[in-house]
Chain A
Amino acid sequence: MTNPYSALGVSSGATDEQIKAAYRELVKQYSDDDARINELNDAYDQIMAERRTGGQSADYAQSAQNTTGSGYEAYDEAAARNYTEIRQLIRANDILSAEQRLLAINPSLRGAEWNFLMGCVCQSKGWLDEAYRYFSAANSIDPHNSEYAAAYNRMTRERTTGGSEYNPYGQRQAGGCMDDDACANAVQCMCLYSLCSNCCCGN
């Protein structure tokens, strides 16, 4: 793990504004280089995520060692199957049943996946405060899971930018869609984009 601050060329004591400015400047500079852009996005997300949760700029070499294995979760098969079914319920937009099933799970067995799915349920309900807390819990229990990290980073970014800066007015596809199929797809998964972060919705 490299230090995200050095990736953006700022010191760890820089303010959020300075980091944002440095990030934007670099994105402009490397707009053709996808790999580099991904690197920058990851670094930016990581810094913002840390600052949101009140984490300090850790010693990265050391933290990389320590986290090995810390995201390990004991799964038995029944629990895994249960979670798969809950995911299906969320995809089918049956949020109430999904929530009931999740709440029925014994609190001592609630791990990263439970928190992540609870976050999805809350997000679908429009309960964004709790959704963020669940995503953040999922991400800190299991920091190596890319699904949890994607949901958490996405929401962190939305909370800092309001969505507007990444889709500047005039450059983005103007709202509303005239295509019925696209509309149906979007409606189906607009609440669920954390579950299917690579599917039709988003951009």
Chain B
Amino acid sequence: MFGYILPDKPELKIKEFAAYRAVYCSLCGALRDFGFGAKALLNYDFVFAAMLMMAVRQEDAPKPCEGRCNTNPLEKINLIPQNAQLRSCAAALLISARYKFMDNARDEGLFKRIAARFLLFALRPAFRRAACELPQFDRTVKEQMDAQSDFEKSGLDSIDRACDATATGLASFFSSMSVQEKLSCALQRLGYLIGRYVYLADAGDDLAEDLKKGRYNPLILRFGLSSGCSQQKIEQAKDELKAQLYATIAQIETCYQSIPLTCYREILDNIIYLGLYKTAQEIGTKKKGKSRP
């Protein structure tokens, strides 16, 4: 469930895209510090988190510097100097990825199960270091994963409860971005809503496949769908999902407006006001693992 928090690239200025790219590449660098192979998990959601965290924590925008690409050392790229925010976001990314793999290793088909087991094994050192970096977040995500699997077994049809675990996990990471109480409270709400958005978007993208394979999906329960039900009913459920995503975006916007930012405002604005909306419109129309920027 990664890759939903994206900018709307055509609306970015070239210098803004360059700044976005520099954070992306620097987050990749921060991941590499956690261990071999960790950078393969790099995703856009945590680029957003890193930019937001720097905008909340730092006095000024980090000065870009030149460097070389991790993957292709022949390529010169723009980077920003490594800092504590990039490191925390890299750790949070690894922790979320780890629990996602653990979930896959339990629920998915044979091939994906084996792949998830392999990754959990191969990336073990990186995961361990990430858990040492953010022990509190690691604990919260673990608890929430357990709560989620209990909930899925309960057969309740509440969408809000289904989103709660992912949302609470992300809320705990976002709230740690600031030490000021009021700001931390606003960030917590923002994290919760973004977690909700990501979970819903992911459920929407998985809907067709989950229906076919008879797997758990909160939308199936909420809208009483089944593999044999009419296309019209599925379309209705998708429209309703879109309404839910829009309502979430509206709340995200209100919450985001209350957070003072020192840098990267244009890019963060783009992601919040345009990117989320665009992603919501694309749900279910594209193959998963989209890569917009």
Contacts and interface: CB of A to CB of B under 8 A. Distances in A.
Contacts of B277: 162, 164
B211 interface: no
A191 interface: yes
Contact of A176 (B11, B159, B250, B256): B256
Contact of A167 (B185, B186, B253): B253
A178 B250 CA distance: 21
B258 interface: yes
Contacts of B270: 169
A14 interface: no
B173 interface: no
Interface in A102-133: 122-123, 125-130, 132
A159 B251 CA distance: 10
A203 to B, nearest CB: 10
Interface residues of A, number: 37
A169 B274 contact: yes
B254 interface: yes
Contacts of A178: 260
Interface string A27-61: 00000000000000000000000001000000000
Contact of B249 (A132, A155, A162, A184): A162
B241 to A, nearest CB: 10
A175 B196 contact: no
Given A167-B273, A176-B265, A155 B247 contact: yes
Interface in A144-193: 155, 158-164, 167, 169, 172-178, 180, 183-184, 186-187, 190-191, 193
Contact of A128 (B160, B185, B258, B268): B160
B247 A126 contact: no
Contacts of B196: 126, 128
B257 A169 contact: no
Nearest to B185: A187
A7 interface: no
Contacts of A186: 186, 257-258
Nearest to A166: B250
Contacts of A180: 260
A177 B272 CA distance: 15
B151 interface: no
Given A176-B259, A190-B189, A162 B245 contact: yes
B272 A175 contact: yes
A194 to B, nearest CB: 11
A201 interface: yes
28 contacts: A52-B243, A126-B196, A128-B244, A128-B248, A128-B251, A129-B222, A130-B158, A158-B250, A162-B245, A164-B253, A164-B274, A167-B253, A169-B269, A169-B270, A173-B257, A174-B265, A175-B265, A175-B269, A176-B260, A176-B265, A178-B260, A183-B186, A186-B257, A187-B182, A187-B185, A190-B255, A201-B254, A202-B254
Given A172-B273, A175-B261, A186-B258, 4 more contacts: A129-B158, A158-B249, A175-B259, A175-B269
